[in-house]
Structure 1
Amino acid sequence: MSAAALREETYLPGAAEQVAQVFDFLAAHESAGRGRPEPRYFLAGPTPSDRVELPAEVHRVLQQVVTALQQGLAVTVAPTTQTLTTQQAADLLGVSRPTVIKLLDNGKVPFERVGTHRRVLLRDLLEYREQRRAEQYAALEATAIDLDDEEDLETVLQQLRETRRAVARRRRSA
């Protein structure tokens, strides 16, 4: 398939029986419990000699696609380059372009300059996004408090304020 033929495409669930067979096969394969041999995955054609080995990345993509289709979800595959403009990076992170520029200039995400333009590697941006999510989950965890049914609402609100202040102090010192 040529690069020009690659385009964003959405796949809707269908052929539920076939998707269920693939899902069951993948689930059985992972839960076999026969140790962890080096995984190898193949795409087979109509004859036994007609097969090709799939890279692990392609297998992971197929697993996600089959799992989503099994759950009745549609799947969109959108090819993208590995070097992004600041606007593409902003779209991927769900933030504004000026915010991405600040992240780049503050050294939060590595980038390269091509003339006067900044270019961000997709790998670096995805790594930053995962790091940011981990920090956000940690912050949520830090603000979680145990609620006792018998505690006064004012007491709970005061505990929450104190926890938020502590998180803000840690964030400022980091």
Structure 2
Amino acid sequence: MTAAALREETYLPDPGRQLAQVHDFLQAHERAGRGAVEPRYFLAGAAAGDRVELPADLYAVLRQVVDALARGFAVTVAPRTLTLTTQQAADLLGVSRPTVVKLLDEGKVPFERVGTHRRVLLPDLLTYREERRAEQYAALEATSVDIDDEEDLDAVLRRLREARRAVGRRRRGLTE
């Protein structure tokens, strides 16, 4: 495949396609619950015996694309190299490039230098992103407080402030 063939492409939903049929088939197949048998998925051609088995991760991509298109969303497929620039890493994380540089310099994301440029491996960046999300969810959970309808509003607000301060201390590395 040429480099020109590996370009970002956006696909729009097309109600004229048999997308609903594919979507329904995929849903029905998953609901069937084939027990301990590992599911196998095939891509079939027009000729008899013209088929190839799809790996599970490729099936997951196909499933996500079909679900999105069936719901009326456009889907963009953007090939990426496994080595990213700091700007590409920033775009993927949804932060600024200086923020990524700071993360690299603090050792939060591994990187390698190519001359004066930093390069980040995509798997390392995805691992960091998942860890960051887990930390964010944990912080949200830490701020949750059970509220009793009978409890005084000032007491509830005080407990919420204490929980927020505790999260702030943990974030700054001042664990209790």
TM-score by length of 1: 0.91
Q: How does 1:90-109 map to 2 (within 5 A)?
A: 90-109=90-109
C-alpha deviation, 1:39, in angstroms:
3.0
- One-letter amino acid matched to 1:161: R
The residue type paired with residue 78 of structure 1 is: A
Equivalent residue for 2:65? Answer: 65
Counterpart of 2:22 in structure 1 is 22
After TM superposition, the score normalised by the length of structure 2 is: 0.90
What are the residue-to-residue correspondences of 1:21-60 with 2, within 5 Å? 21-60=21-60
> Cα distance, 1:31 vs. partner?
2.1
Per-residue deviation at 1:48? 2.0
Distance apart, 1:16 and its partner CA = 6.2
Distance 1:65 1:38 in 2: 22
The aligned length equals 174
Q: CA deviation at 1:17?
A: 6.6
- TM-superposition CA deviations, 1:2-30 (whole Å, max 9, x none): 22122211111113672221112111222
Distance 1:152 1:123 in 2: 49
Output aligned runs, 1:95-174, within 5 Å: 95-171=95-171, 172-173=173-174
**How far does the alpha carbon of each residue in 1:27-66 deviate from its partner, in whole angstroms, 9 at most, with x for none?**
1222222223233221111122111222222111100001
Q: Distance in 2 between matches of 1:34 and 1:58?
A: 20
1:75 is matched with 75
1:23·1:67 contact (CA, 8 Å) conserved in 2? yes
Paired-residue identity, %: 75
Which deviates the most, 162-171 or 106-115?
162-171
SS in 2 for 1:128: helix
Q: Unpaired segments of 5 or more residues in structure 2?
A: none
SS in 1 for 2:33: coil
CA deviation after TM superposition for structure 1 residue 154, in Å: 2.4
Structure 1: gaps of 5 or more residues: none
Measured against aligned partners, the alpha-carbon deviations of 1:110-163 in whole angstroms (never above 9, x if no partner) come to 111111111001111011001101100110011011233343432222111011
